[in-house]
Amino acid sequence: MSRFRVPFWVYLTVISMVTLTVTVAAVTITWRNNVWRLIDRFDERIGRQVGEILNEKLNNLLEVAPHQSKINLELIQEKSGVFEPEDFKGLSNYWVDVLRIHRNLAYLSISFEEDGRMLVVSRNHRDEIRIGDLAQNPDTGNLELREYLPGDSYPDNPYRVDPDRGHGDPRLRPWYIKAKQAGRPLWSDAYIFLGTGDNPNVPGVTYATPFYHEDGSFMGVMTADIDLLSLCGYFNEMRRSRDEQAVPQGPTSAVAFVMDGTKDSHVIAFHDIEQIMRKNPDDPSSWELIPGEELTETGLKGFYENVIEGDVQIPDEGPTEIDYTISGIA
């Protein structure tokens, strides 16, 4: 019986095919790894660029608070001769003009340690400016809040009077206590602004500046405030502008946000306010920040969970020059 022999060219063909298959597989794996590496680098670069742009814009938005606070402090110092600290008429007229120019400011105020008196000029969410004068009523002994319209009505014709505003004593507020203890200007932690008839109770941040008597003794605190609704609106504006310009989206889902600088804290500014804030169930007229563990937006939830797990390091001094926040890409 003759023995069947496989021709040499068949061996050669099989070996060549196996070699080619292995080579193609190796090249495919290498190519795929390189592609993913390039995507990761591109992803990281886009994230870094968006983060840098966000930091710059956020700095520009928030810088008005410390800038205006510095001006306010200089104006009430004796050497300037412009305003006495107790010149509520002059200060209120000036601050009304300031709020008309700087539309991202929500409040400007001055408070006194001696008796808790406070002047506040505020902007409500209908973009209306109001003046508030908190002072002790000599007849009742209560702190009484009188509210005025800009113009000639202050201080004789208040349009609203709250005869017992003791819970509004500025000396008990976190920003006041923190500035008094620090002895220097600083940002407060996020907290709930005390609302009035025209201003709801909303979360916000305060840049608080202590001021002093000539002998160096503590006199009170001045503030410049930005509510978080304004910050959220700013982020929403950024997204709307990007969409209108049809800016192409990269592989990264870029999410602009600001969050407290501690691992157990909240996201405090985001383009979609409903994702980070909710009506207080105990007081429907006020708002509260949603606890981090209850966040549902995919990007924010993932970032928050990474923070809790320790995968993301939050700096003590954030890139926005506010020592309790961080902004970036989720």
Percent of the chain with pLDDT over 90: 30
Q: Residue 251: exposed, middle, or buried by beta-carbon count in 10 A (0-12, 13-18, 19+)?
A: exposed
**Mean pLDDT across 96-100:** 96
Give the HSE-up count for residue 38: Cα atoms under 13 Å, Cβ half-sphere: 6
Q: What is the pLDDT of residues 103-132, one digit of tens each?
A: 889 999 999 999 999 999 998 878 899 999
d(CA 15, CA 8): 11
d(CA 289, CA 291): 6
pLDDT tier at 298, thresholds 50, 70, 90: confident
Q: In sequence order, what are the residues at sequence separation of 6 or more whose Cβ sits closer than 8 angstroms to the Cβ of residue 313?
A: none
Q: What is the pLDDT of residues 224-242, one digit of tens each?
A: 998 877 667 777 776 676 6
DSSP β-bridge partners for residue 218: 212
pLDDT for the residue 98: 96
H and E: helices and strands count for the chain = 6, 14
**Mean pLDDT across 174-193:** 88
Q: How many CB atoms lie within 10 A of CB 16?
A: 10
pLDDT for the residue 180: 97
d(CA 91, CA 89): 6
- CA R_g for the chain: 29
Task: Give the best-scoring range by mean pLDDT among 173-182, 192-201, 235-244, 287-296.
Answer: 173-182
Omega prior to 155 cis, within 30 of 0: yes
First to last CA, the chain: 76
DSSP E strand boundaries for 228-320? 256-260, 267-270, 277-280, 283-289
pLDDT tier at 321, thresholds 50, 70, 90: very low
Instruction: Residue count of the chain, please give it.
Output: 330
pLDDT for the residue 323: 41
C-alpha separations of 151 from 95, 158, 314 in Å: 12, 11, 46
Q: Position of tokens 């996020």? A: 190
| Domains in the chain with CATH codes | 46-61+230-329 (no CATH), 63-227 (3.30.450.20)
**What is residue 96's three-state secondary structure?**
helix
Of 299, 251, 311, the residue nearest 275 (C-alpha): 299
Looking at the predicted structure, is the pLDDT value of residue 253 above 50?
no
Of 186, 329, 316, the residue nearest 261 (C-alpha): 316
pLDDT for the residue 188: 83
Q: What is the pLDDT of residues 265-286, one digit of tens each?
A: 677 777 777 788 787 777 766 6
Amino acid symbol at 24: V
**Mean pLDDT across 294-302:** 78
